[in-house]
């Protein structure tokens, strides 16, 4: 900027050369220089040239210095006698320059002042007066000009093994000076895109993910991508401009699994029919944790446990506990199976079961592992017997069927009033449809004798009567 007057005080400069006094003198200087009360002046810039960095206007970012200008508005200001200074902070001194009027324009209402052609890496101080209730008060406003520089480098330590988090450094870092000379970092508004494995209906699949990032010079990615990938960074710090940069390929060591548990779960039906219901049940481990209080099944139960792991995983450990909550993290005495997938694993005893899957990649140069777990309960044995049924084909209570939980063995015998056996079964999941031979039995009372043993060892011997009734369709 041409035609500026340099107001350096040589005696003052010499005084600053004493390193031990430098910080104290800097603080004192600015305490005196900026001892004016500051109100709510607002900064603005042309949209096509940059942005005001924050609401306080501490910094203005310009990507096009050729179009740069700074305006200040204060609704109670009188900018007719505004004084503007350019300030540079050195290591041992402060240089202050008066801005000539040729570079300043004032609005007709004297409430807005515009500085033309500001320079980057400089602070600008405006001193002016406001009037309220006939009184005048000196005010000041300060901002720093920073030239926006796009990110030109994304780096990380390529010799390190990253299992849980990856820190990516980027440069250049953008900074500004406060009115007291302190250096602050500018937080960039960015998104970072990369590929990783996600859980899908048919197991893990590679997909692109995107994260919103607000950082000054380091990006933390957690969890680490589970596939080799390139990071693509988009910088939206200045909304009117979009800057993008791509990294080298990241070679991953991290492993992951999205285990599922599949079974035909048996639940006690709570409706009027009083019958057992079954459900083909498949859930991820995370979902099983969230619903562990509700996932209570009748035993015995056959489980299929599928690891759904990433390709780098080559070691698998399934830890199984009974009666111990995994939320307490205690798998120290668990039964361990070293298989990728487990088919037809039977559980029968009542109580809480927890499974923990640990997958890892054991090689000469790296060991990364990933853990996941799930819990569910096997209910205590229970046997409920209805006292009536109506085999009329309406789909409601058409069979004499017991409701049960966790029954290991079962036998049922039904007799008519004359002691003739009309039905027998050892399959608790089936019921009597009311047929005697080839026709529906007569309306009336029938007698049953049931023996059963629960998976918890409880024995049941039940005698009683059930009424076969007719209802209107």
Q: Which of these, 184, 177, 174, lies nearest to 237 by C-alpha position?
A: 174
* Residue 406, pLDDT score: 87
List every span in the chain annotated with CATH 2.60.40.3780. Answer: 5-147
Domain 5-147: CATH class, spelled out:
mainly beta
* Residue 202, pLDDT score: 78
Ranges of residues in the chain with a pLDDT under 50 are 1-39, 268-277, 290-294
Tell the burial category of 172 from Cβ atoms under 10 Å away from its Cβ (0-12, 13-18, 19+): exposed
Q: Give the C-alpha separation, 300 to 346, whole Å.
A: 7
CATH code matching the domain that covers 153-175+183-250, chosen among 2.60.40, 3.30.1490, 3.30.470, 2.40.360: 2.60.40
* Residue 48, pLDDT score: 85
* Residue 360, pLDDT score: 95
Average pLDDT, the chain: 84
Q: Give the C-alpha separation, 125 to 136, whole Å.
A: 19
Residue 428: count of CB within 10 angstroms of its CB: 22
* Residue 275, pLDDT score: 40
pLDDT in tens, 250-283: 999 999 999 988 877 665 444 334 344 455 556 6
Show Cβ contacts of residue 347 under 8 Å, excluding neighbours closer than 6 positions. 299, 300, 301, 303, 322, 353, 378
How many alpha carbons fall within 13 Å on the CB side of residue 93?
13
* Residue 5, pLDDT score: 33
C-alpha 363: how far from chain center: 31
* Residue 294, pLDDT score: 46
* Residue 178, pLDDT score: 94
pLDDT in tens, 42-72: 999 998 899 999 888 999 999 999 999 999 9
Omega into 384 within 30° of 0, i.e. cis?
Answer: no
Show Cβ contacts of residue 32 under 8 Å, excluding neighbours closer than 6 positions. none
* Residue 276, pLDDT score: 45
* Residue 27, pLDDT score: 40
Which sign, positive or negative, has the C-alpha torsion 145, 149, 151, 157? negative
Q: Give the C-alpha separation, 192 to 218, whole Å.
A: 12
Helix boundaries (H) for 106-250:
none
* Residue 28, pLDDT score: 37
Q: Give the C-alpha separation, 371 to 443, whole Å.
A: 60
CATH code matching the domain that covers 383-468, chosen among 1.10.12, 3.40.1000, 2.60.40, 1.10.1760: 2.60.40
Tell the burial category of 160 from Cβ atoms under 10 Å away from its Cβ (0-12, 13-18, 19+): exposed
pLDDT in tens, 136-145: 889 999 999 9
* Residue 396, pLDDT score: 85
| Contact call for residues 153 and 115 (beta carbons, < 8 A) | no
pLDDT in tens, 363-412: 766 689 999 888 878 888 888 899 999 998 888 889 999 988 888 899 99
């Amino acid at each position: 900027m041409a035609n500026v007057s340099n107001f350096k005080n040589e005696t003052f400069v010499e005084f600053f050369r004493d390193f031990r006094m430098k910080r104290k003198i800097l603080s004192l200087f600015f305490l005196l220089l900026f001892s004016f009360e500051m109100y709510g002046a607002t900064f603005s810039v042309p949209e096509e040239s940059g942005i005001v960095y924050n609401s306080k206007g501490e910094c203005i970012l310009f990507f096009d210095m050729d179009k740069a200008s700074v305006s200040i508005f204060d609704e109670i200001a009188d900018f007719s006698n505004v004084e503007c200074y350019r300030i540079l902070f050195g290591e041992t001194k402060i240089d202050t320059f008066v801005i000539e009027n040729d570079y300043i324009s004032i609005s007709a209402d004297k409430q807005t002042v515009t500085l033309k052609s500001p320079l980057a890496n400089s602070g600008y101080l405006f001193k002016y007066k406001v009037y309220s209730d006939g009184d005048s008060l000196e005010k000041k406003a300060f901002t720093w000009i920073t030239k926006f520089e796009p990110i030109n480098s994304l780096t990380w330590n390529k010799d390190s093994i990253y299992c849980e988090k990856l820190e990516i450094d980027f440069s250049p870092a953008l900074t500004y000076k406060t009115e007291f000379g302190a250096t602050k970092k500018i937080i960039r508004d960015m998104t970072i895109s990369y590929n990783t494995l996600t859980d899908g209906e048919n197991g893990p699949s590679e997909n692109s993910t995107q994260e919103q990032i607000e950082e000054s010079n380091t990006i933390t990615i957690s969890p680490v991508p589970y596939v080799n990938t390139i990071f693509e960074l988009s910088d939206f710090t200045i909304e009117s401009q979009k800057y993008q940069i791509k990294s080298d390929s990241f070679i991953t060591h991290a492993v992951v699994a999205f285990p599922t548990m599949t079974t035909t779960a048996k639940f006690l039906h709570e409706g009027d029919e009083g019958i057992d219901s079954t459900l083909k049940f498949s859930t991820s481990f995370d979902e099983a944790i969230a619903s562990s209080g509700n996932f209570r099944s009748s035993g015995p139960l056959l489980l299929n446990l599928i690891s759904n792991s990433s390709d780098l995983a080559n070691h698998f450990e399934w830890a199984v506990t009974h009666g111990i909550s995994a939320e307490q993290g205690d798998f120290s005495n668990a039964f361990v199976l070293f298989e990728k997938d487990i088919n037809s694993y039977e559980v029968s005893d009542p109580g809480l079961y927890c499974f923990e899957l640990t997958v890892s990649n054991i090689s000469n140069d790296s060991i990364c592992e990933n853990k996941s777990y799930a819990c569910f309960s096997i209910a205590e044995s229970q046997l409920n017997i209805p006292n009536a049924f109506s085999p009329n084909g309406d789909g409601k209570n058409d069979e004499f069927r017991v409701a049960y939980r966790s029954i290991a063995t079962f036998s049922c015998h039904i007799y008519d009033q004359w002691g003739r056996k009309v039905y027998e079964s050892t399959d608790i999941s089936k019921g009597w449809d009311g047929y005697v031979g080839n026709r529906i039995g007569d309306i009336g009372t029938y007698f049953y004798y049931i023996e059963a043993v629960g998976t918890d060892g409880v024995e049941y011997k039940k005698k009683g009567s059930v009424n076969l009734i007719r209802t209107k369709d």
